[in-house]
A = this chain, B = another copy of it.
């Protein structure tokens, strides 16, 4: 049992496929997002806010599976750039509500070109892509369920 098939081969790992695909996505996004002044995680936060504005940090974290340790500094950077405002909710002072500034709203227009450009890079097979996405999300949810069980 020296090796060969103990499952420790890199090429066998589904996780590595996902891991390296994530990096590859980042490289495709970078030149598209740089002109907008956004990193990829910042872009995801903006997607959430463009769908629904004026939400607490908690909600953003739930949508993106990120915690306050990641979001607090990220949102402060977006605030520094003038894209969002951070204000305590008067009705519940524990919450910080995130709202788009006019600049943040306006950024949506140039951002519209991004998904098509990425789609072109993925060689989007339209229907096949939807199916692949669904399978990856199903995988993710099984992983979350499995790690959640351990708690």
Contacts and interface: CB of A to CB of B under 8 A. Distances in A.
A12 B137 CA distance: 11
Interface of A: 3, 6-10, 12-25, 27-29, 31, 40, 44, 47-48, 50-51, 63-65, 108, 111-112, 114-116, 118-123, 129, 132-133, 135-137, 139-144, 146-147, 150
8 contacts: A6-B112, A10-B48, A14-B122, A20-B137, A21-B137, A24-B143, A120-B146, A121-B147
A7 B51 CA distance: 11
B115 A142 contact: no
Contacts of A50: 3, 8
A123 B142 contact: yes
A23 B18 CA distance: 10
A47 B129 CA distance: 30
Given A7-B115, A13-B47, A115-B13, A122 B136 contact: no
A110 B10 CA distance: 17
A113 to B, nearest CB: 9
Contacts of A140: 17, 20-21, 24
Contacts of A12: 115
A82 to B, nearest CB: 20
A8 B25 CA distance: 16
